[in-house]
Amino acid sequence: MRTAFVVPGRTRITDPVSIGATIITVDTTVGFPTSGSLSLPTASVAGVVTYTGKTTNQFTGLTTAVDVLSIGDDVRYNNVAYGYSFAS
C-alpha cells in the first residue's frame, strides 16, 4: 500500500502580529488545511498556535497571540514527519 507524500504548507508573515491578535496575515495559505495548527519557529513564547479558518492570505480563529511576530517570519504547517533508513 502506498501513501502519497504531501509537502506541508510554508509561508511568511506580511503584517506584524501583536500580542492579543486573532488573525495572522501571510503571503498565501495555499497548501494549508482549512483548520489546524501552525508552527512559528521564530516565536520566542508561542511556538505552535491553532487556527479554525483561513482565507487566501490569512489564518483566522486563532486564540489570542501571546508573542510578537514580524514581517518575514516563517509560518509552517505543524506536521512532523519521520524517516528511517534500514541500510547498513
- pLDDT at residue 88 tops 70: no
How much is the pLDDT for 67?
84
pLDDT band, residue 2 (cuts 50/70/90): low
Q: In whole angstroms, how far apart are CA 23 and each of 6, 52, 87, 88?
A: 25, 10, 45, 48
pLDDT at 26: 96
Each residue's pLDDT tens digit, 30-86: 889 999 999 888 777 767 889 999 999 999 999 878 888 899 999 998 876 556 667
Q: What is the pTM of this model?
A: 0.78
pLDDT the model gives residue 5: 56
